[in-house]
Amino acid sequence: MDMKKIVTYKILLVAALTVVATSCKKSSSSRNSSRATGWEINSKDGGFQYNTDFKEQETSPGLVFIEGGTFTKGRVQDDVMHDWNNTPTQQHVQSFYMDETEVTNEMYLEYLDWIKRVYPPSEEKFRAIYNGALPDTLVWRNRLGYNEVMTDNYLRHPAYGQYPVVGVSWIQAVEFANWRSDRVNEYNLEKAGYLKRDAKVLDVNAESTFSTDTYINAPTLTYGGNEEVLNGDGKSKRFTRTDADGNETNIYATRATGIISPKYRLPTETEWEYAALGLSELRSYNLYRGRKKYPWEGQYTRNGSRKYRGDQLANFKQGKGDYGGIAGWSDDGADITNKVKSYEPNDYGLYDMAGNVAEWVADVYRPIVDGEYNDFNYFRGNVYTKNAINDDGTVKVVGADNIQYDTLSNGKVVARNLPGEIVQVPVDENETYLRTNFDRSDEINFRDGDKRSSRNYQSFGDDDENTDEEAQTRKMYNSPVNKIERDENGKIIREYDKSNTRTSLISDEVRVYKGGSWKDRAYWLDPAQRRYFPQDMATDYIGFRCAMSRVGSKSKTQKKTKN
């Protein structure tokens, strides 16, 4: 290479580096200055602090990403029941995350272990917390069957560690999701330096716990106000600043830091059905090229590929007295439940969306989905609450000595709130006055066929507190009302509903569950099929998995060109 070419090359290289440096400088400058005021953001001198480098939500433990879109909900392939239960409606689902597998015994045992350490059942005031979280292992018993081996071993024996947990009611599943949210955010804050390392194990007790909502609204009340824990390591806190007087500011993480993730929760029925179908391989431009009967492609439950031809694609009941097939041949590999990930996942990477165990979803059950009123993120079951406020304006936090308990219809006692959590109360007129999108705290019965949903209904003088229970009873859903109380000695008094006029089992306390189980025929493997069960009861064939909302962009990747 001659000297002239070398000089030309150096000039081009310097020019390129200058362009890159200028571009980076401009990018950095635009990212750290306000488009509203021109002021510097995240200045070391203080002022507005914001995570301007946030790219996208991190995938939390156990979850996989489900890109949202449109689909036809409730379109079953076979409807032998003709029970007016699946009216196809076009729905759009926002992107979200869902557990890769059903919640396993091992995962649930970690939850029980945490409760036992923090709220020792040996102490009488905490005993109901642990007992209320325990799965009902007696669901395995059968009057004419010998299943005691599952009653004694299924939950705790390591042979069943990776099997889906059962015997868990809808209420217990929700509480597990709430606990999981707090533990994951607690760990996130620890990694970011906002909480003392290993405080989640070494410093936690009934008087010193972490709640995500409490940390966001009143951080000094988490961990019982233990400053040593709340100050963290102080090194990696990105947004902490020192003011002119030498005082630290922004010492607690907020939602604006991007560190605190959305909560784990049960998926809605719409989300679950959309995720189970896994329609992505049928997509062509903005249309689906076909219909699916199962989470996998095809109309059959056996594998059609040459290598695995004949193998069952899910764990379900083959026929009367046949829960797995003939031993040693091409059976489904299980008589009861099976280890998670035993069968191929669907196109979203989700395992066992058909078979193994059916799964709780968040929705209150009604026979009809009111798609005419809403076709975006459809969900029935909203009960809006707000933080309870003390007279001095601070949030009201549950203490170890004022835990409130509820007695369920089956006599089981569960804690309404755990110590360290903020007390929730129904929203009132301060939030609902003149609103068009909601008008009361409890919207479960909206447009479901009751009196309030009729066109002749007038809301004048309609006050929840002054309207007796019988006047609110729905003619369509007059399910039995079994009463359970406790006398002054704590003894349970049960009063069964002996009315002969009840025509339905549907109430506000029954929840939808989806997917077939090890106990169901192939008919129930269709993701569009839906059934219901009381929210405070459990069975040996219903489990659950968690979901989490996606914040920010709909997609995790840039859209590709059509061709």
Show the beta-strand stretches assigned E in 105-251: 241-242, 248-249
Choose among 157, 164, 192: nearest CA to 99.
164
Of 16-20, 61-65, 315-319, 496-500, the least confident: 16-20
- Name the phi and psi angles at 256, rounded to 5: -65, -15
Structure tokens at 107: 């995962």
CB distance 522 to 76 below 8 Å = no
Q: Which of 72-86, 124-138, 273-287, 310-324 has the lowest mean pLDDT?
A: 273-287
Residue 552 CA: distances (Å) to CA of 70, 149, 389, 453 = 18, 48, 31, 35
Query: Band of the pLDDT at 87, cuts 50, 70, 90?
Result: confident
At residue 28 the predicted structure's pLDDT band, cuts being 50, 70 and 90, is: very low
- 283 or 556: which leads in pLDDT: 556
554 contacts 67 by C-beta, under 8 angstroms: yes
Give the residue ranges of DSSP H helices in 49-169: 105-118, 124-133, 148-153
264 or 234, which is more confident: 264
- For the ranges 8-17, 257-266, 311-320, the one whose mean pLDDT is highest: 257-266
Q: What span, in angstroms and rounded, lies between the C-alpha atoms of 277 and 291? A: 9
**Can you give the pLDDT at residue 38?**
92
Taking a C-beta distance cutoff of 8 angstroms, is the pair 95, 65 a contact?
yes
Q: Using the 8-state DSSP alphabet, how is residue 441 labeled?
A: S
Rounded to 10 deg, the angle between the 105-118 and 124-133 helix axes is 170
DSSP state at residue 160: G
Banded model confidence at residue 86, pLDDT cuts 50, 70, 90: confident
Give the model confidence (pLDDT) of 425-477 as tens digits: 999 999 999 999 999 999 998 888 766 665 555 555 454 444 444 444 455 67
HSE (side-chain half, CA atoms, 13 Å) at 254:
11
pLDDT value at position 427?
96
- Contacts of residue 238, defined as CB under 8 A and 6 or more positions apart, other chains included, come to 51, 192, 257
Kindly report the average pLDDT of the chain as a whole number.
85
Confidence of residue 248 (pLDDT cuts 50, 70, 90): confident
Residue 76 pLDDT = 82
Q: What are phi and psi of 376, to 5 degrees?
A: -130, 120
For the cut 80, the answer to whether the pLDDT of residue 276 exceeds it is: yes
Q: What one-letter code names the amino acid at 176? A: F
> What is the structure's pLDDT at 466?
45
555 secondary structure, DSSP code: -
Q: Report CA torsion sign: 42, 43, 48, 49.
A: positive
Residue 310: is its pLDDT beyond 90? no
- DSSP character string of 375-430: -BS--S--B-EEE-B-TTSPBPB--TT---EEE-TTS-EEESS-TTSBPEEE--HH
Strand 510-514 versus strand 358-364 pairing type? antiparallel
pLDDT of residue 470: 45
pLDDT above 60 for 424: yes
Short-list 323, 298, 383, 326, CA closest to 517 = 323
Contacts of 408 (CB under 8 A, 6+ apart): 171, 414, 484, 536
CA dist., res. 414 & res. 136, Å (int):
13
pLDDT at residue 448 in the model: 83
Ordered DSSP codes for 272-285:
HHHHHH-GGGGEET
pLDDT band at 25 (very low <50, low <70, confident <90, very high): very low
Is the pLDDT assigned to residue 249 strictly greater than 80?
Answer: no
CA distance 351 to 323: 20
Instruction: Quote the pLDDT of residue 279.
Output: 74
* Cα torsion 518, 523, 528, 531: sign: negative
Q: Mean pLDDT, to the nearest integer, of 378-394?
A: 94
> Quick one: tokens of 1?
């290479």
Higher-pLDDT residue of 373 and 364 is 364
Say if residues 282 and 71 touch (Cβ distance below 8 Å): no
And the tokens for 3? 């000297």
- Most confident residue range from 75-79, 155-159, 484-488, 498-502: 155-159
Q: What is the pLDDT of residue 11?
A: 66
The two tokens of residue 302 are 């056996």
* pLDDT exceeds 80 at position 39: yes
CA distance linking residue 530 with residue 380, whole number of Å: 14
- Which is higher by pLDDT, 373 or 388? 388
pLDDT of residue 26 exceeding 50: no
Kind of pairing between the strands at 358-364 and 542-543: parallel
Helix axes 124-133, 170-191, angle to 10 degrees: 100
CA angle 234, 238, 239 (to 5 degrees): 100
Using the predicted structure, report yes or no on whether residue 16 has a pLDDT greater than 60. Answer: yes
User: Among 65-69, 266-270, 495-499, 539-543, where is mean pLDDT lowest?
Assistant: 495-499
Which pLDDT band, with edges at 50, 70 and 90, does 133 fall under?
very high
Output 8-13 pairs: Cβ under 8 A, ≥24 positions apart: none
Write the CB contacts of 165 (distance below 8 Å, at least 6 apart in sequence): 102, 103, 104, 105, 107, 108, 135, 155, 543, 544
